[in-house]
Every structure is written in C-alpha cells, then in structure tokens.
Chains A and B, each alone.
Chain A
C-alpha cells in the first residue's frame, strides 16, 4: 500500500518582472509502508521544497500529494496540520525544539495535541530509549546539539507516525554524534515500521535507505534502489 504518492508536482515562485522561477518540475513518485527513501542533490535542487510539499507545509503550484490516501492539496491549512499530527513525524537539521519546554514536554506535545491522556509515560519511555531519561527536565538550551537531536527523534516517534520526514538530520552535528543519531533513527524506524523520507547531502547516509531519488534543477534526475546496489527502481 502506498503511504505517500506524489504526482506531477510543480512549484514555481513569481519573479519580479520576469517568468516565474520553477524550483520543482513535474515530480512524481510513490513510496510504500515501511519503505525508506533518500532524497539527495546539490543545494537549490528542490529537495527541501519537495519535503515541504510532501508534508503539507506548503502548497504546490500544480500536481498532487496523497498522504495515507488523503489528498493534501484539497485540504486547508488547519486540516493539513491535523493530518501531520495524525500521520507525520519530523526531524530537522536545526532540531526545532520549543525552547521554553523541557525535553519531556517537547516529546509530549504531539501526543497532547491529539488530546491523549497520560502522555508523560510514553514520552518518558521514548526519552529513555534515546538515552536521555535523566535529562527529561532539561531545557533545550541546557542540552548539547546531539542531545537536542535525540530529543527531536523521540518527539518525531511520539505520535507513532506512519511517515517520518528527516531534513538533513545530521547537518549540524559532528561525525561521532551523527553516527549515534543516525543509528538511533534507523533503529527506531525499524522498530516502529515507519516509512522514512530522508533529505540529505550525505550519500553515505542516503545509502542506508532502500531507495534514492537524485534531484537536479528541480527534477528527478535518477531514481534507484540502494539494495541490491544499482538495481533500477520502479518508475
């Protein structure tokens, strides 16, 4: 079953006094439940734009996105937010933790937004799982970059998402910390059976996913499976 389906997705921005600037051109692909996908490409190739559109953070100029069968382009801003809360988890390069909330409270937020009672226990368990059980009551400013990204990981899995978007998850971390975070990411992903869409510059990291979309100039230049190496992907 397809979790995410993207069809002829195009995003263009109006440019002053000229033709619109197209940053994403007729992109189509789909990804099944539990699959892992890396989106790679140079800066400005449209990776982050694609992630924003797939997660319903932005609206496409044309084309469609279905997330768990829900057509995002038909929904309003608040409805897309509800879809994200229900099905999506996020990991960002700059962590994006709420600075005024403790680590535990940050992990609780997605659950609380669903109106779930007793969100503290699963959030605490997730923090234990990422090795931060003892830092639950620390604020982001009191945590290192690696620790903040681990809290971010715990938050991303808190609502048991069907689909996890990770935008350069190791972009702000040193190699050793990156390794710990990436290992955790894939372990948690495997345990939860979550579909993973990973946007990265790092080809080594991309190679740990099942499939890679290589972008250039706003279009898919290459789409291939990482296992077995070099095998062609479905169109």
Chain B
C-alpha cells in the first residue's frame, strides 16, 4: 500500500474562532438554561448583597465618624482624673483655652419620689457650655436653657421610661431634689446602648456639693472640656503638659484620639460582621458549584458535538466559563444593588450601638470589593465542575455511555482547589486583618465542609451497603435516590448542613453567654451590691439590712490606687517601652486599681504560686496578684510594684499569685494586700446581700437613699436584664447578617432541586407511566428530601454543638448544657422546609399527564 500524498500541509492549528464566537455561543447555549440558572444568580446575589451591605455600612460609618468626630467628644479636648485637678495646675489649664466646662461624674442611686422608683444612675454635674459640638436631643426644646440656668435636671429617657416618671416630676440625688426639666434622647458621644447600661442624670455643676455625695474616698470622675479656636492642634497644645498630666494621673482625649479609637472599634465590628456575610457568599458559591455541576452533566452531549465539529477543549470550556461568569456578574451586580439597600437598613439594625448618625451613601470600594470577591469566588467554584468540559471526548457523539474521558483525575482541579483555599483565606484576612483569625476561619470552614462532605459520602455508602431490601417500595425508592447517579446527597448535605450549623452555633453561643450571666442571679448567690459605704457608715448600713431581714453575705474594704512603677521603672517609662513593643498591656499601666486587704483567700480564689498576702521583712507588704494579670504584666515572684495610694507612694513585693473565678458574683481583685497596711488609707466598703423579691429590693433601696444617700446599690437582676437586652440586640444584628446565609442556603437548596428537575421529572414520569400513583411519587419525594434535610440539619447541629462545647470549654470556661428541644425543633423545621421545596418542585409531575410533562420539558 503506497503512502498517501501529503498536500496541503497538515492543518494542526486549533480552530480559529475568536472571543466573539465564544461569547455568541455562550449566549446561544444559555437559552434553555437561563430560567434554571436564575436561582444560582440569586444565591450569588444574596451573598454579595450581604458583603457589600456590611462593608458599605462600615465605610459610611467610618466616614460619619470622621465627619462627626467633634460631636463624638463634644469638645476639642477632654481631661479626666479620679482626683480633683491640682490647684497648681488650674491656672495653666486656663491658658489652654478660656472656653471650658467642668464636670463631676459619679454613680449614685437616684430616686423618683412620685413613682417611688430607685435606680443606680450616672450623675453628671456640669458647668459651662458643654457640649460645644453636636447637640443634646432633649424634650422639650427649651430644657437645655432651663438646665444651664440651674433650674433643674435633665434625665435620660431610658430612666424616665423605666419608672413612668416624666418632665415636671422631681428626682432625688443624695440630699438634694431636682425638678426634671427635660428628657434626654441623645447626648453627644454616647450611644443608645451606653444609656441603657448607665442612664444619666445631669444636674447643675453648682449643685453637686449640695448632694453630699462627693466626699473623701468617693469614686468621682473629674472632667474638663475645652473648646479651641478653629485650626488649633489639640495634640500640640497639650504636648508641654504631658509629664505633668502623667504625674497627676490625668487622661487626655482629643478629637483625633477619640475618632481613632471609635473608628477602630467599629471598623473591627464591621469587619467581623463582614465575615458572617462572607459565609453567605461562600454558601452561594457552594450553590454555584453544585448547580454548575448538575448543569455540566446535561451539557456533555452538546459539548461532544462541538468537539466533533472541531471546537477545542479550551474553546468548549470557555463557552461555559463565559456563561457562568456572565451569570455570576449578573448576580454580583444584582447583589451590589441589593447590598446598597442593605447598608441603608443597617444603621437602623445597629442603631443602639452607634455613637454617630450614619450618613447613608454608596461606597464604591465596598461595591468593587464585593463584586470582585463574589465574581472571583463564584468563577473558581464553578471551575471545579467546569474543568471536566475540556476533557469531554468527541466519541460521546457515537457512544453516549462513554465516560472514561471525564472520570480520570484532573491535575488542574488541584490547582483550582489551591486557588480557592488561597482566595478564601485571602479574603478572610482582608476582612479581619488578622492572620490567626483568617487561618482559623479557613480551617474551621474547611473542617465543617469536610465533615459535612464526609457525612454525605458516608451516607451514600451506608445506604448502598446496608440497603434495607425488605422495606416497602416507597422507602426503598426514596432511599435509593440518595445514592443513584446524579443524586444530590453531597450537595444538599453540605449546603443545608452549613446553613444549619451557622444558625445553631449562633443560638448555642447566645445561650452560653446568657447562661453564664444568669448563674449570677441563681440560687443563694448575692444579688445586691452596696458600695461607696464610708467606714463610718458601715455599721449603720449593716443595721439597716438587718432591719429589712437581709443577710450580710460579704463585706469588703476597698482602696483605690494607681500603679506608679514596676521594679522601680516608672509607668511613664514603661509606657514608652510598651509603645516600642515590650508588650505590657496599656490597661495594666493606666487603670485605677481597686484593691482590698485580707490574709486569707475567698471561695473564688485558689493559691497558684508563692504565698498568701503577708507582711515581709521591714514591714514591706507582699501582695498576691491574679494569675492572668501576673502573666500579662510579665511579672516574676519577688518583683516590686509601686502603687500611688491617693498621693502616697507604696512599695510592694509580688509574693504570690491566685487563680480567680471572675464569673462568680463576688468582689474579686487583681491585687490583694495583707492586713496592716491599708487600714488608714481613704477607703470605702462594699457589702453584698440577697433580696428575696423586688418588693424587698425596692424597700431597702428607698431606705438607703433616705438614710445613706451616698451609698450606691447595684441590682444584679437589673444588670442581668440589661445584659440580656444587649445580647438580644447583638444577636439580632448577627442573626440579621446570618439571615443572608440562611436565605442563600435555601436558594442553594432550591436551585439544586430545580436544576436536577429534568432528570427527576423523567424518572417520575416513567414511574407514573409504569403505574405508580401520584401518592406513591409524592411519598418517594418526601422520603428522599425529608431524609436529606433531617440528616443535614442534624449534622449541622452536631457540628454547632461541638463548636459551642469548644467555646464553653476553652473560651468562656463555663459549663455546657444546651437545651435540646429548640435544636430538635430546628432540625424538624429544616427537614420540613427541604421536603416542602422538593415537593413544590415535583408539583408538575403530580398534576399533569406524563406525556404533557415530557413534552414541556423538551
């Protein structure tokens, strides 16, 4: 046989159709799938909406904080101290600015005589024109002028609302009574939440002395507010005073520092909420992968035809990549538009937490980030199933059952997975700016997905391996659907399981936090703390408690002091070192220490190292410090701590450490002195008692206000309620964001079910043609989807229980006993929802004649 003539040269270059043709083919091919892929678009859109919403809100909040920075502080500079300002310093302070206000702030029980209400409040005695920036939101409008004229008090709306008191009533603070001239809805620099925790009563500055509440040893915060001429740099202005301020323990706060601190706190908040939104996006992307995977299975035949006609594997892949990227882009744009709406709602959702009024506006960087991340991740997730397209053999046109082409392992798949992992980690880092958190997020997500996927594989294997052949037809058919070709077991278990995991984790964590606080109010623990009791008043207060048949459960003397030096190195020097990275936290150096003295440990303390507090050689006090404090302050036994006890230096030696259970309602202390040192120092006492009911509580508070007006009473029941309120608000915010994940999970579920509808319809129609009744088809569908939903939900809940247990054990160090009933309810709800979506999808098959359905499905 002769060799053939070789003419023309071998045309081995790939077909030359360009981008235009690829775009055209992508458009043409999508014609029949657009409706079905719409749910995929919606899944991506929801995820991106959540992300764009929270990040836009974050940007808007940051901008608003910048714009309203002065209103945050209400002045250009605030100086604060726990002692009256040194008279030697006052003339110098006057030079800073002639426009200034003074304030004395302290906690005290206040009483509303008309309604007989008593509550601990923050009392602020103001003189001068503060606030200089921003305005009090006060009703009636003229109330501020009346207050400044010294005609009465302004009271937080929260406080008035609690007791049903109103403007025109009087409020009693210490020995003085004040006419309530206005209710305060908003004070510059204070969030709604701040008011809830510590509602404020503003009294005229000149009237503070008359209350009798400011005495030696009282815990009072002294503040001075300054207003500078426009353009004056506050930081530069106080620079020359820094050393003197340090020596006098005066803290300064400028507009810039407040702006930075508030900005950073809310930046962190929105970043973390962004992470919750990111989960929604990832769920949407899991949906993309599952939808595209089912879609690709349908496209194998047309791809083989294209390959047969001369399209390269790359061209075939690009057609479908363009298609999914186009849909992803559509989803991203819809998501961005929706996100712009979400960010307009978020200020209302977060209202109580916000220190400034957020000006809503479109944040293009947030939109670009959301669209970029959403599109990128959606395309990467879609690539996982799409990759197989480039390996579809044209031989499929002759042999439809040929499967060897896409079955072999694909090295590019590993690359896409690596890119995905990098993308997820990268974005988590971008959101949080913390390597550890981003790694933890990635690892946690991978573990959850891995566990759910493992469960999916295990389930299909187990059902196949231990198939209950003896069960009824409906059960066998429904169970077989879990492992037959084109089953959705893995996809649905992963997506529904992840959604349930998020929901259950939120629920369990909230329960954990509330449970932790609730134990404070349980059983025989103290529920009322009386403090600011002067030494001379102690016996009287205890006698008053006895009159009311209330026990004295604990009595503790407290001395306030500040840290002056560690190992004779001054705090100022240490602060500079810390700024250089030595790592003693600033709060250790700057805080006010409230210490007590005794030679024994309480029930909440355990000796960890060294000795109990004792007097050492030469009468030097050997103090005991909390173990965590000991580590953070980088101390060793034998180190010295010098304290400034209200002006007098006191050298101590670290003689031992204690492990303190801070969750118990006790007076707990970082630093414990021995007896025989502080007895002569200015001090106050704390007495803990337990009231059996609110009537007894009200009675003792009334008596306290009457007889010991300077003594404050902290009602732990009220604290518990406030914490509950705060947690409810926080969990509402998180639920709002997690709601996107749930909605996305449902969309993923719906889209998986809808995309697989064609095959399922054919099967169901075939069954009906062979004589299956509608009822049987309905029950088969019900068994399959209810089982899938139930297993996914149980898996998600089990993972959440594990996560909550880990949080309880390692983070909160609390006991963990979740109530199983709501969790079982959640599982039943998810299973019912899944089955309902499955049944809704099958409604056509049940309603219409088989042939009509087949024709309609094409």
Contact = CB atoms under 8 A, between A and B. Distances in A.
**B and A form one assembly:** yes
Contacts of A84: 308-310, 394
A5 B33 CA distance: 42
A57 B308 contact: yes
B437 interface: no
Given A1-B4, A1-B5, A5-B1, A96 B15 contact: no
Contacts of A30: 1, 4
A18 interface: no
Contacts of B2: 2
Contacts of B7: 1, 69
A144 interface: no
Given A81-B312, A83-B11, A84-B310, A7 B1 contact: yes
B118 to A, nearest CB: 76
Contacts of B13: 79, 82
B309 A78 contact: no
A86 interface: yes
A51 B399 CA distance: 12
Interface residues of A, number: 47
B307 to A, nearest CB: 6
Interface string B303-340: 00111111111110000000000000000000000000
Interface stretch (B23-31, B622-630, B722-730, B803-811): B23-31
B1 A86 contact: no
Nearest to A1: B5
Interface in A86-117: 86-87, 90, 92, 96-101, 105, 109-110, 112-115
A70 B858 contact: no
A167 interface: yes
Contact of B398 (A5, A48, A100): A48
Interface size class of B (residues with CB under 8 A): 35 or more
Tell me the interface secondary structure of chain A in the complex: mixed
A141 interface: yes
B805 to A, nearest CB: 48
B313 A77 contact: yes
Given A57-B397, A75-B12, A100-B28, A113 B5 contact: no
Given A2-B4, A30-B1, A113 B398 contact: no
A122 interface: no
A66 interface: yes
A115 B15 contact: yes
Interface string A10-40: 0000000000000000001010000000000
Given A5-B1, A57-B398, A100-B302, A85 B310 contact: yes
B4 A112 contact: no
Contacts of A155: 309
Nearest to A140: B858
B309 A113 contact: yes
B408 interface: no
A82 B305 contact: no
A7 B1 CA distance: 8
A58 B313 CA distance: 15
5 contacts: A69-B4, A79-B13, A90-B397, A99-B302, A113-B315
Given A2-B2, A114-B310, 12 more contacts: A2-B4, A48-B398, A78-B314, A81-B394, A90-B309, A90-B397, A92-B398, A110-B309, A112-B21, A113-B21, A113-B315, A114-B17
Q: Which 6 A-B pairs have the closest CB atoms?
A: A85-B310, A115-B16, A69-B6, A78-B312, A79-B12, A70-B10
